[in-house]
């Protein structure tokens, strides 16, 4: 249980009609309850004359996200450093990061106003690129850092290192370093395992690697995964598929646990297994459960 929210950040996908209607409905309900509403600069609209506009989430109690997982990642970037939890209302397709569906909008507003939510910490990533011994880039990610080939016709060559020790050299399309939260995103598509959010670990998943040893790796949350780009082909480093930086041959990328986790506002304590079944429409017909089990 937390204190009732008095100031909320609304983050949406403003180009989508369903998101526009959801923002208007949520804003109306919050204002009726005496809660201040803030929207990001890029979401400002003449239809929202009574809301405040900000470039970040400073001073807000919670961020309400109206959209899919892409909008959730955008909200995570806006709240990064402000220690503001996010709660997602899915208006997209899978919406794995969302806490509720569009039909639950009114109930979510009521719970936020009443303070009936808890905060869960999700492991995030700090990513650095070192070039000629100097720091060239620093990124933060919720789902993953992905090193990918820049030329579709040519593979990249990468030497992977775990905790200061070389592991293997891969000729591949790329490498995904993910969090448990990101295990159902790009890393999953690349053949990585699904990791329950309560597990603290880092994932390293090669993409189409031409190597005898090229399996997904799960390492300790305290580990540092390093990748050095060798050969002749340059690459691109992506952070959550939202921000990219060029990587040159000879550059070194290090991925480690961030000191700033993603804060997620939880309204319900739905088991992750149930969420997995629902989001992927997994077949569970015939399940009887053990004696005394409850759904």
Catalytic residue among 61, 69, 240, 251: 69
Domain assignment of residue 106, yes or no: yes
Q: Is residue 287 part of a domain?
A: no
The verdict on residue 246 lying in a domain is yes
Same-domain check for residues 271 and 230 = no
The answer to whether residues 108 and 268 touch, using CB atoms and an 8 Å cutoff, is no
187 and 116 in a common domain: no
Alpha helices in the chain (DSSP H): 17-32, 69-79, 105-114, 186-189, 272-280
Give the structural domain span for 175.
125-257
Could you tell me the two tokens for 114?
Answer: 């009443």
Kindly state whether residues 58 and 146 are assigned to the same domain.
Answer: no
Pair 266, 228 in one domain: no
Q: Which of 48, 43, 98, 47 is nearest to 69 (CA)?
A: 98
Residue 117, class by beta-carbon neighbours within 10 Å (0-12 exposed, 13-18 middle, 19+ buried)?
Answer: buried
The pTM of the full predicted model, rounded to 2 decimals, is 0.90
Judge if 25 and 148 occupy the same domain. Answer: no
In this structure, the answer to whether residues 96 and 137 fall within a common structural domain is no
Counting as low any pLDDT under 50, the low residues of the chain are none
Whether 84 maps to a domain, the answer reads yes
- pLDDT value at residue 187: 96
Q: How many domains does the chain have?
A: 2
Same domain, residue pair 227 and 275? no
Does residue 286 lie within any of the structural domains?
no
Same domain flag for 56 and 81: yes
Residue 96 lies in a domain: yes
R_g of the chain, CA atoms, integer Å: 21
CATH number, residue 165: 2.60.200.30
Based on the fold, state whether residues 240 and 134 are members of the same structural domain.
yes
Confidence at residue 117, expressed as pLDDT on a 0 to 100 scale: 87
The reported pLDDT for the residue numbered 291 is: 60
* Backbone φ, ψ for residue 280 (5° rounding): -100, 5
Same domain membership, residue 275 and residue 218: no
Residue 69 annotated to the active site: yes
Same domain, 241 and 143: yes
- The DSSP H or E segment spanning 9 is strand 7-12
| Residue 37 half-sphere exposure toward CB, CA atoms < 13 A | 26
What are the beta bridge partners of residue 66? 12, 89
**Is residue 86 domain-shared with residue 105, that is, in the same domain?**
yes
Residue 13 sits in a domain of what CATH number? 3.40.50.10330
Q: What is the DSSP letter of 273?
A: H
Residue-level pLDDT at 293: 57
């Amino acid at each position: 249980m937390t204190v009732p929210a008095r100031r909320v950040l609304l983050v949406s996908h403003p180009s989508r009609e369903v998101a526009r209607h959801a923002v208007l409905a949520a804003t109306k309900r919050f204002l009726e309850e005496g809660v201040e509403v803030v929207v990001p600069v890029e979401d400002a609209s003449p239809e929202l004359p009574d809301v405040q506009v900000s470039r970040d989430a400073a001073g807000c109690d919670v961020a309400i996200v109206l959209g899919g997982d892409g909008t959730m990642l955008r909200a995570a970037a806006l709240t990064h450093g402000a220690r503001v939890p996010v709660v997602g209302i899915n208006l997209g397709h899978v919406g794995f990061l969302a806490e509720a569906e569009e039909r639950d909008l009114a109930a979510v507003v009521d719970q936020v106003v009443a303070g009936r939510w808890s905060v869960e910490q999700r492991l995030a990533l700090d990513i650095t690129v070192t070039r000629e011994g100097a720091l060239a880039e620093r990124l933060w990610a919720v789902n993953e850092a992905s090193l990918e080939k820049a030329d579709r016709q040519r593979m990249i060559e990468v030497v992977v290192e775990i905790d200061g020790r070389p592991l293997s050299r891969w000729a591949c399309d790329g490498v995904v370093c993910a969090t448990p939260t990101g295990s159902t995103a790009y890393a999953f598509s690349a053949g990585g395992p699904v990791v329950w959010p309560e597990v603290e670990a880092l994932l390293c998943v090669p993409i189409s690697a031409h190597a005898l040893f090229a399996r997904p790796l799960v390492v300790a949350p305290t580990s540092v995964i390093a990748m050095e780009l060798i050969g002749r082909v340059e690459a691109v480093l992506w952070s959550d598929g939202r921000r990219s930086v060029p990587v040159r041959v000879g550059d070194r990328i290090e991925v480690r646990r961030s000191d700033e986790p993603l804060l997620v506002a939880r309204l319900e304590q739905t088991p992750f297994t149930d969420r997995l079944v629902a989001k992927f429409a997994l077949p569970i017909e015939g399940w009887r459960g053990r004696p005394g089990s409850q759904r």
